[in-house]
Amino acid sequence: MDYLPLFLNVRERLCLVVGGGAVAARKVILLHRAGAIVKIVALKLHEQLQELAQRGVITVQQTAFSDIEIKDYYLVIAATDDKILNTQVYQMAKVHGVLVNVVDQPSLCNFILPAIIDRSPIIIAVSSGGASPVLARLLRARLETLIPHAYARLAQFAARYRNRVKQQIKAVRARRIFWEQVLQGSIAERVLAGQEMEAEKALEEALSVNSAPSQGEVYLVGAGPGDPDLLTFRALRLMQQVDVVLYDRLVSAEILDLVRREAERIYVGKKRAWHVVRQEQISTMLVEYAKEGKRVLRLKGGDPFIFGRGGEEIASLAAEKIPFQVVPGITAASGCACYGGIPLTHRDYAHTCIFVTGQLKEGQLNLNWQSLIQPQQTVVVYMGLAGLGLLCQQLIAHGMSSSMPAALVQQGTTPQQRIFTGTLATLPRMVMNEKIHAPTLIIIGKVVALHSQLAWFHTSQESSCK
């Protein structure tokens, strides 16, 4: 280990930064956030530093460094492109026993500044010891995705209750176990979700019996349209801490692989005219698993509140007083349109967008046709492949032009994505010729004509039929 990791308290300490460029500005901002009294020595100032000086946040001395009494400072940072000056700063600081850092010159440092993940009061530092600052920043970026900003709230919550818990639970081991249960269970999840009043009530109840609550919780998570990179940070965090997952047919294998390895996996997928588990059974399973004290993940393709029956499931949970969280996902309309280079709205083509389901019921489509044929509008049809012929026929019969551009996006956002463009008149024939299968999204409107110009996602197959 080349360096001893330490966290330095510079609050109300006098710190000096030599240099006035963009690099110096970043160091000044960091010191200011940590509560230091910052002084700058530089002949010219970056505009960011000028603004800070005008606000009185920092003081500036526009003179040569040799005029500075370096022994008066707690630490010094040299951030200039003058190697001779940087060496002079280091040597003077070393003589006076002052902490010194010369940016990008590890040999002229007796301390280094790591890449920082700030979730105050939680601070995480990543350092390569000066060997590769870029690698340290890349590692920090990866950790940023795994540690939500809400962990700051959780740390503050724990700090507020630290003495209270210590007084209530005297034994050190019992107190440690209590905090482990709290910080990994439903109380922590409520804090992270911004439900601090509910979390405080639950903690008080837990303290009354010296035990964290054993009741489980349900996470209703939108998995997006297929690409794992489209998951939210919150979705990923919850997926990695569950005991059991109930997942749909539209959840890709790559996304399912991100669920905690030890979690029990239960397939509850549906497709047209075939249901593995009926909706009522799914809702019952969520309640029963949660009552067993398990953390239950209900993983749905797309967004759970857009044609995902999420409302029905949380109604069952609410009736049984089961704690739950809902995490939105990118719905298929947004994901498929984006990856297909088809903007759902465009000032020259579409001012509104409407989502509908195209499922057949007894061979019929019961839609508000008049609302679908409005000018400058994009129509997105979910689950409409089986009734595509009837859909196109009825839109034309109710006044939409048979030459209206339309697209089919099969398995959108995934490497297997296929896009087929045509018109209302040609699309049904294309389905028969190209062997298109679900999941496929239908996009109808003049914006589809932009696909050839704007598509950026390399699909395995594209076809058009005019």
Q: 457 and 407, same structural domain?
A: yes
Which listed residue (27, 39, 227, 248) is catalytic?
248
Give the residue from 56, 88, 113 where a domain finishes.
Answer: 113
> Who wins on pLDDT, 464 or 356?
356
Cα distances from 140 to residues 8, 105, 151, 435, in angstroms, run 19, 21, 16, 46
Query: Which segments of 325-417 does DSSP mark as H helices, in order?
Result: 332-339, 369-372, 388-397
Lookup: tokens for 304: 């759970």
Q: Judge whether residue 67 has pLDDT over 90.
A: no
Q: Which residues are annotated as a binding site for NAD(+)?
A: 22-23, 43-44
Q: How many helices (H) and strands (E) does the chain have?
A: 17, 20
What pLDDT was estimated at residue 463?
63
Q: 286 and 302, same structural domain?
A: yes
Q: Judge whether residue 273 has pLDDT over 60.
A: no
**Quick one: pLDDT band at residue 69, thresholds 50, 70, 90?**
confident
Q: 202 and 229, same structural domain?
A: no
Note whether residue 143 is domain-resident: no
In percent, the amount of the chain with pLDDT more than 90 equals: 65
What pLDDT was estimated at residue 271?
60
What pLDDT was estimated at residue 458?
47
What pLDDT was estimated at residue 461?
56
- For position 272, which CATH number holds? 3.40.1010.10
Q: Judge whether residue 36 has pLDDT over 50.
A: yes
Q: 204 and 225, same structural domain?
A: no
What pLDDT was estimated at residue 177?
77
CA distance 242 to 180: 16
Q: 378 and 458, same structural domain?
A: yes
Instruction: Say whether 67 is catalytic.
Output: no
Q: 227 and 264, same structural domain?
A: yes
> Who wins on pLDDT, 425 or 141?
425
What 8-state DSSP symbol labels residue 232? -
Q: What is the dihedral of CA 283, 286, 287, 289, to 10 degrees?
A: 150
Q: What is the dihedral of CA 288, 292, 294, 298, to 10 degrees?
A: 0
Q: Judge whether residue 272 has pLDDT over 60.
A: no
Q: 233 and 355, same structural domain?
A: no
**Quick one: pLDDT band at residue 56, thresholds 50, 70, 90?**
very high
- For position 96, which CATH number holds? 3.40.50.720
Instruction: Say whether 270 is catalytic.
Output: yes
Q: What are phi and psi of 444, to 5 degrees?
A: -125, 130
**Quick one: pLDDT band at residue 465, thresholds 50, 70, 90?**
low
Q: Judge whether residue 464 has pLDDT over 70.
A: no
Note whether residue 231 is domain-resident: yes
Partnered with residue 122 across adjacent β-strands are: 119
Q: Judge whether residue 456 has pLDDT over 70.
A: no
Note whether residue 7 is domain-resident: no
CA distance 218 to 233: 17
Contact 109, 94 (CB under 8 A): no
Q: pLDDT tens, 218-245?
A: 999 999 999 999 999 889 989 988 899 9
Q: Give 123's Cβ-side CA count (13 Å radius).
A: 14
Q: pLDDT tens, 83-104?
A: 999 999 999 999 999 999 999 8
Give the residue from 297, 330, 363 where a domain finishes.
Answer: 330
Cα distances from 88 to residues 64, 67, 108, 314, 330, in angstroms, run 12, 12, 10, 66, 55
Q: Which residue has the tokens 């298109």?
A: 436
Q: Judge whether residue 278 has pLDDT over 90.
A: no
Contact 353, 446 (CB under 8 A): no
Q: 279 and 180, same structural domain?
A: no
Q: What is the mean pLDDT of residues 59-68?
A: 82
What pLDDT was estimated at residue 466?
54
Give the residue from 292, 310, 330 where a domain finishes.
Answer: 330
Q: 203 and 225, same structural domain?
A: no
CA distance 134 to 129: 12
**Quick one: pLDDT band at residue 4, thresholds 50, 70, 90?**
confident
For the ranges 112-121, 191-200, 205-214, the lowest mean pLDDT is seen at 205-214
Note whether residue 103 is domain-resident: yes
| Residue 30 structural domain | 14-113
Query: Is the Cα torsion angle 363, 366, 367, 369 positive or negative in sign?
Result: positive
What pLDDT was estimated at residue 176?
82
Q: Residues 6 or more apart from 241 whose CB is under 8 A from it? A: 184, 260, 295
Which listed residue (118, 243, 270, 446) is catalytic?
270
Note whether residue 138 is domain-resident: no
- For position 357, which CATH number holds? 3.30.950.10
Lookup: tokens for 152: 């700051």
Q: Measured in whole angstroms, how far is the alpha carbon of residue 15 from the centre of its chain?
A: 36
Q: Which residues are annotated as a binding site for S-adenosyl-L-methionine?
A: 225, 301-303, 306, 331-332, 383, 412
Note whether residue 235 is domain-resident: yes
What 8-state DSSP symbol labels residue 67? G
Note whether residue 41 is domain-resident: yes
Q: Judge whether residue 275 has pLDDT over 80.
A: no
What pLDDT was estimated at residue 200?
93
What pLDDT was estimated at residue 395?
96
What pLDDT was estimated at residue 37?
96
Q: 294 and 394, same structural domain?
A: no
What pLDDT was estimated at residue 358?
92
What pLDDT was estimated at residue 414?
92
What pLDDT was estimated at residue 301?
94
Q: Residues 6 or more apart from 55 whose CB is under 8 A from it? A: none
Note whether residue 436 is domain-resident: yes
Q: 107 and 185, same structural domain?
A: no
Domains identified in the chain, total number: 4
Q: What is the mean pLDDT of residues 62-75?
A: 84
Q: Judge whether residue 274 has pLDDT over 70.
A: no
Q: Judge whether residue 423 has pLDDT over 90.
A: yes
Q: 340 and 453, same structural domain?
A: yes
Q: Which residues are annotated as a binding site?
A: 22-23, 43-44, 225, 301-303, 306, 331-332, 383, 412
Q: pLDDT tens, 279-329?
A: 899 999 999 999 998 889 999 999 999 998 999 999 999 999 998 999 999
Q: Judge whether residue 404 has pLDDT over 90.
A: yes
Contact 230, 282 (CB under 8 A): no
